[in-house]
């Protein structure tokens, strides 16, 4: 572990034994984060992003078999008791959940939702907690905060509830904030407002941030680094600008190709990734092989290792994009008469 690391995740795995075999929801993931750094974790639904976040927080289902280590400021979170973890949540590490309607108590007013967090962690007494709650709603750009504190969650819009969730997460000024799909089910205007708000709060407080999303375009220009997940593993990671400008994994390339762009001709179908994700029950070989347009027999039997010529840009692929062997594999798989620029090459 680096002495400068705020968060250090080493060989983290989340397994679920079933009668059909072992489901490898998260499979041997390692990464670290510095204080104040922003990391985007991107992938399709079912790729293991949310389970990774929950395993870092220590809120995985009881049936899960957890392996590896998660250290925050050198302290092993996985070795902590439930009581120690509760003290750590909110004050050191916090999370904005995917659906604020289910993470907020529906029968409790917004004010009590927030003041309970402040008082539980000893940040404020009863009187100061109410004042601090109003300040938090102001910080997350909610108009008329005094009235909103008296409201119930169902009386607010989706965007308002998401802002309340962010206010709860930052109430105790954590060192690390995990935002799990913070813009789910929000329209594009509110999505931008939420992402701008998170960026501004990070700049103001200096906290590190993990943004989990299925949209690569959402993390462009908003994160320092990006990790792309597929089938419970990180398949490519690197500085955001490098990953966008020098994509190496076919899955990352396919995700980028599926982003709508204004410069494209009208009425042209948006490219999609063919096929469906493979089962993560005792997988063999590369997990993207069944959908990859450059897959070779080796991909079906041997699992690639996350590595790269550059220490900060790593890829798990036998035939990466932009390499002689990768381009040759892509050409071998192109049907006769078809162009060599299909999605995923």
Least reliable range by pLDDT among 13-17, 57-61, 231-235, 269-273: 269-273
Kindly state whether residue 232 falls inside one of the protein's structural domains: no
Q: How many domains, the chain?
A: 2
Kindly state whether residue 18 falls inside one of the protein's structural domains: no
If you average pLDDT over residues 21-49, what whole number do you get? 94
Helices (H), 76-157: 82-88, 100-103, 110-120, 126-139, 145-149
Question: With 80 as the cut, is the pLDDT of residue 32 above it?
Answer: yes
Please say which residue of 140, 173, 206 terminates a domain: 173
Give the pLDDT confidence score for residue 341 in this predicted structure: 37
Half-sphere exposure of 340 (CA within 13 A, CB side): 11
Give the pLDDT confidence score for residue 90 in this predicted structure: 87
Give the pLDDT confidence score for residue 335 in this predicted structure: 47
Kindly state whether residue 292 falls inside one of the protein's structural domains: yes
Give the pLDDT confidence score for residue 1 in this predicted structure: 47
Please say which residue of 173, 208, 225 terminates a domain: 173
85 vs 166: CA distance, rounded Å: 20
Kindly state whether residue 326 falls inside one of the protein's structural domains: yes
Least reliable range by pLDDT among 87-91, 96-100, 134-138: 96-100
Give the pLDDT confidence score for residue 216 in this predicted structure: 85
Mean pLDDT across the chain: 88
Whether residue 172 contacts residue 123, with contact meaning beta carbons closer than 8 Å, is answered with: yes
Question: With 70 as the cut, is the pLDDT of residue 71 above it?
Answer: yes
Q: Count CB neighbours of 120 within 10 A.
A: 16
CA 335, 341, 342, 345 torsion-angle sign: positive
CA 274, 278, 283, 284 torsion-angle sign: negative
Question: With 50 as the cut, is the pLDDT of residue 37 above it?
Answer: yes
If you average pLDDT over residues 136-146, what whole number do you get? 90
Give the pLDDT confidence score for residue 2 in this predicted structure: 52
pTM of the model: 0.89
Kindly state whether residue 325 falls inside one of the protein's structural domains: yes
Least reliable range by pLDDT among 65-69, 203-207, 229-233, 250-254: 203-207
Question: With 90 as the cut, is the pLDDT of residue 33 above it?
Answer: yes
- For 295-339, how does the pLDDT look when each residue is reduced to its tens digit (9 = 90+)? 999 999 999 999 987 888 999 999 999 888 888 888 877 543 333
If you average pLDDT over residues 259-277, what whole number do you get? 83
Give the pLDDT confidence score for residue 334 in this predicted structure: 56
Give the pLDDT confidence score for residue 3 in this predicted structure: 54
Whether residue 142 contacts residue 160, with contact meaning beta carbons closer than 8 Å, is answered with: yes
Kindly state whether residue 63 falls inside one of the protein's structural domains: no
Looking up tokens 């994700």, which residue turns up?
Answer: 277
If you average pLDDT over residues 157-171, what whole number do you get? 88
Kindly state whether residue 241 falls inside one of the protein's structural domains: no
Using pLDDT thresholds of 50, 70 and 90, give the confidence band for residue 266. confident
Name the most confidently modeled range: 7-21, 94-108, 154-168, 177-191. Answer: 7-21
Please say which residue of 173, 189, 223 terminates a domain: 173
Q: Which residues pair with 95 in a beta bridge?
A: 178
Top pLDDT among 164 and 263 is at 164
User: Which pair of structure tokens corresponds to residue 291?
Assistant: 């959908």
Show the domain range for 163. 93-173
Kindly state whether residue 228 falls inside one of the protein's structural domains: no
């Amino acid at each position: 572990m680096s002495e400068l690391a705020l968060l250090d995740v080493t060989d983290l795995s989340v397994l679920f034994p079933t009668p059909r075999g072992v489901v490898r929801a998260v499979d041997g993931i390692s990464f670290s984060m510095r204080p104040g750094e922003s990391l985007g974790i991107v992938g399709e639904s079912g790729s293991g992003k949310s389970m990774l976040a929950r395993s870092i927080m220590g809120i995985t289902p009881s049936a899960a078999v957890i392996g590896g280590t998660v250290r925050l400021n050198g302290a092993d979170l996985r070795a902590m008791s439930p009581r120690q973890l509760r003290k750590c949540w909110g004050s050191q590490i916090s999370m904005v959940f995917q659906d604020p309607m289910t993470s907020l108590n529906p029968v409790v007013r917004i004010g009590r939702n927030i003041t309970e967090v402040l008082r539980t962690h000893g940040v404020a007494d009863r009187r100061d907690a109410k004042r601090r709650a109003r300040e938090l709603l102001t910080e997350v750009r909610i108009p008329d905060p005094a009235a909103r504190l008296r409201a119930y969650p169902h009386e607010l819009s989706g965007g308002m509830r998401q802002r309340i969730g962010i206010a709860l997460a930052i109430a105790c000024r954590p060192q690390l904030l995990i935002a799990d799909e913070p813009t789910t089910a929000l329209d594009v205007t509110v999505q931008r407002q939420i992402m701008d708000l998170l960026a501004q709060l990070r700049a103001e407080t200096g906290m590190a941030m993990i943004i989990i999303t299925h949209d690569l375009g959402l993390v462009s220009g908003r994160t320092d680094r990006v990790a792309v997940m597929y089938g419970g593993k990180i398949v490519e990671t690197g500085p955001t600008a490098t990953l966008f400008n020098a994509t190496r994994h076919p899955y990352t390339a396919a995700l980028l190709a599926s982003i709508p762009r204004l410069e494209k001709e009208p009425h042209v179908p948006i490219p999609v990734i063919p096929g469906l994700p493979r089962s993560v029950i005792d997988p063999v070989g590369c997990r993207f092989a069944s959908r990859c347009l450059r897959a070779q027999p080796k991909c079906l039997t041997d699992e690639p290792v996350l590595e790269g010529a550059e220490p900060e840009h790593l890829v798990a692929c036998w035939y990466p994009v932009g390499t002689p062997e990768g381009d040759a594999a892509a050409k071998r798989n192109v049907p006769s008469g078809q162009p060599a620029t299909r999605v995923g090459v």
